[in-house]
Structure 1
Amino acid sequence: MKNDVTLTVKGKYVNKYKDGYPLILRDAIINLNEVTAEGTIVRLVDDKNKFIAKGYYGKQNKGYGWVLSRNENEQIDQRFFVNKMKAAIKYRESFFNSPDTNAFRIVNGEGDGLGGLTIEYFDGYYLINWYSQGIYRFREYIINALKELVEFKAIYQKKRFDVSGKYIEEDDFVAGERGIFPINVKENGVNFAVYLNEGAMVGVFLDQRNVRKTIRDAYAEGKNVLNTFSYTGAFSVFAAVGGAVKTTSVDLANRSLNKTIEQFRLNGLDIDSQDIVVGDVFNYFKYAVKKQLRFDMLILDPPSFARSKKMVFSAEKDYKNLLKEAISITEDEGIIVASTNSSSFNMKKFKSFIDQAFKEMNRNYQLVEEFSLPKDFKTIKEFPEGNYLKVVFIKNLP
């Protein structure tokens, strides 16, 4: 694309970008107001006009675009995207060969040098997520590159760049033959019903794959499990498959009831031995305390930000208090799986929330194990914010 715009990086940020930082920040650029068109190719230079990197302009919640190349002569064209995506697919070769998992991510944004874009694989179906109008301007290059590199049943897309942060509803089909939904995919031998044609969320969050497997294989047997903010009940399903005597799934969304029943039935599990509650998690905690309910395992995976009629939840501000609620209904020696996808704080800070919560509850605890993103969610050390997932298994000691 022509009409490149040269952006001058402020002195204190020059080494940051030279060292590989990929996100274009407003505070880092002197003349960002000179570019207004989404998808414009931008050259980053220092105050002596020396080339640093090139990328594209595209507003999203994280910043104002992404670095794509550190080669001044490299063209951002069809071949560029083919090469990037070819390397990304090769990196996930073992996933394509897995006999018991056929749902995973094949392009993870800046981790694969393509900030603002993710692509996921669901048993022959590919789903492209566009996070800015800027990256969407390259859609023909990217879709054609995908067509060149893989065999597919169909390609779907999600445009996730509305300025209000809401998903833009429209036909998501791109190429191939339209799917008959749900399609059934496998994760570590467990089945999930996936819908690529129903809004932004398709039915399962793939980044929790290793956590779900660990719950099934090492923790669930014989346990009474509470799964909060349960969405479609994926953690509950894995717990039940792992031998949990009972699971309780709680989520505020009305759709969670039928979606969770669907996932249980797909795996041949008895619905009658599971509780599925549509309601506010915070109200459920109060109900559990009143009824003196106790759980052997409690899964705490809230959104990083959520709003209900009565309150606003922010993981950074409110996770500690949420954890205190969880501690109050967890059995002695029970396990709390504390999880957050907030990129606004790191694992050290997250563990400080855990420590504060237990101290304020006058409880002891043991950190048993921890997880971050799985291999297919590739990250780079120069952008630690990209490794957003933090999961800690905590034993609630007397």
Structure 2
Amino acid sequence: MSARILLNPAREKSLLRRHPWVFSKAIQKVIGKPMNGETIDIYDSRGNWIAKGAWSPNSQIRVRVWSFDQEESIDREFFLRRISQAQATRIKPISDGGLTGYRLIAGESDYLPGITIDVYNNIISCQLLSSGAEFHRFTIIDVLKELYPDYAIYDRSDVDVRKKEGLELHKGWLHNELDSTETEIIEHGLSIKVDVEKGHKTGFYLDQRDSRVAAGRYAKDKSILNCFSYTGTFSLHCANAGARSVDNVDVSQTALDLAKQNHQLNNLDDGRVCFIKEDVFKLLRQYREQGKTYDMIILDPPKFAESKAQLKGACRGYKDINLLAMQLLNPGGILLTFSCSGLMEASLFQKIVADAALDAGREGKIIERLQQAADHPIALCYPEGYYLKGLICQVD
């Protein structure tokens, strides 16, 4: 008999709602000696079978569920089936956007906990972040080779969260090694350079695709400040839509250099766009003192809260940048503001932006809400999958 756990009384409720996590405090007893990442069975306190999942003795999330079907084996066919199903659900957004870059597997929301797989033109970039994903590493890669035989496969399992699972960090080619880790993707008619080795996440922020399109809808004839611009993809859509000017601000010169290349690639490096290496908080204060204003400002900061302990500080950071941005907007100006912190609830984020407007002495209204693109789905049983919140506000 395989290793198994018994839950404490009444701790099976979330599992019965198909939530895929079992925390350490929910476990009454471990029967057997499961290896890190091994598949175990989960029983309630009365001995009723509930699910099977991957054992992770080093993490507070002690088990991540693979399946709620007792007859389903966690084997090669399981991963082949799940990955094939995920690809099938993405056919429409890929076709509608003319995409050559998209998220293939979004972890728990595609019922594959701890697994992120992105496609960038001719390269598949993988992050295996949980003990269970690592345990089945060779099977997962073998399935990808079968389904995508002509693609190169790159491993970006270099994220610190692996340390919480007791895993080493990995990075490098896994299959069909290429001379370069750079490639180009197409997104709604625009070409974008991606480096799967050096880029953020698995190489790029695919989740903001719909938001970039939305920015373009408001950009015509406007002066725009694009904060935390990274490789300039919001700017690409704005310039392509007829913005009068776009100032891109980022602290990374490497990112700004790639942003400039992206504009040149799309014939948009025509004098309307500039690239400023500066700390956003510092520059916003400087512009306020100078009386500089814009018609539209985009705030797409990095994650401010990695844990609940950091949430209070994150709230201060979000309020600060939104307050400063509103002070720089012309009357009737457009603010696109985002939080990619999963711990930041949408209602709290809206309150922070509202408080920022109040302190800035401005009136504002939400004219559009944004979230992660369709290839980053949110499973109904896994609300944590909803992490990217965006507001388009008109500020008077």
- How does the TM-score come out when normalised to structure 1? 0.90
Residue 4 of structure 1: CA displacement? 3.9
**Aligned match for 1:29, one of 27, 30, 33:** 27
What CA deviation, in whole Å up to 9, does each residue of 1:80-132 have, x standing for no partner?
11111111111112245457321101111111100100111112321111113
| Amino acid paired to 1:263 | N
Residues 168 and 285 (structure 1), Cα distance of their counterparts in 2 relative to 1, 3 Å cut: farther
Distance (Å, rounded) in 2 between the aligned partners of 1:208 and 1:103: 12
Matched residue, 1:206: 206
Query: Which stretch shows the higher mean deviation, 39-48 or 147-156?
Result: 147-156
CA contact (8 A) 1:132 1:161 kept: no
Classify the secondary structure of the residue corresponding to 1:272. coil
Matched residue, 2:378: 379
Query: Which stretch shows the higher mean deviation, 149-158 or 116-125?
Result: 149-158
CA contact (8 A) 1:316 1:344 kept: no
| Amino acid paired to 1:63 | I
Distance (Å, rounded) in 1 between the aligned partners of 2:58 and 2:393: 35
Name stretches of at least 5 consecutive residues in structure 1 with no aligned partner.
none
Residues 294 and 313 (structure 1), Cα distance of their counterparts in 2 relative to 1, 3 Å cut: farther
Distance (Å, rounded) in 1 between the aligned partners of 2:152 and 2:246: 35
Classify the secondary structure of the residue corresponding to 1:382. coil
Classify the secondary structure of the residue corresponding to 1:276. strand
Distance (Å, rounded) in 2 between the aligned partners of 1:274 and 1:62: 46
Q: Percent identity between the aligned chains?
A: 27
Distance (Å, rounded) in 1 between the aligned partners of 2:257 and 2:395: 32
What RMSD, in angstroms, separates the aligned Cα atoms of the two structures?
2.8
CA contact (8 A) 1:26 1:32 kept: no
Residue 160 of structure 1: CA displacement? 3.4
Distance (Å, rounded) in 2 between the aligned partners of 1:262 and 1:89: 31
Distance (Å, rounded) in 2 between the aligned partners of 1:59 and 1:363: 51
Residues 238 and 315 (structure 1), Cα distance of their counterparts in 2 relative to 1, 3 Å cut: farther
Matched residue, 1:300: 299
Structural mapping, 1:90-239, within 5 Å: 90-97=88-95, 100-162=98-160, 171-178=171-178, 180-198=180-198, 200-201=200-201, 203-216=203-216, 218-239=217-238
1:346 has 2:332 as partner: no
Residues 179 and 194 (structure 1), Cα distance of their counterparts in 2 relative to 1, 3 Å cut: farther
| Amino acid paired to 1:103 | G
| Amino acid paired to 2:317 | D
Name stretches of at least 5 consecutive residues in structure 2 with no aligned partner.
none
Residues 205 and 55 (structure 1), Cα distance of their counterparts in 2 relative to 1, 3 Å cut: same
Matched residue, 1:279: 278
CA contact (8 A) 1:23 1:63 kept: yes
Residue 193 of structure 1: CA displacement? 0.4
Distance (Å, rounded) in 1 between the aligned partners of 2:122 and 2:55: 32
| Amino acid paired to 1:196 | V
| Amino acid paired to 1:272 | G
Distance (Å, rounded) in 1 between the aligned partners of 2:43 and 2:162: 32
CA contact (8 A) 2:126 2:202 kept: no
CA contact (8 A) 1:95 1:102 kept: no
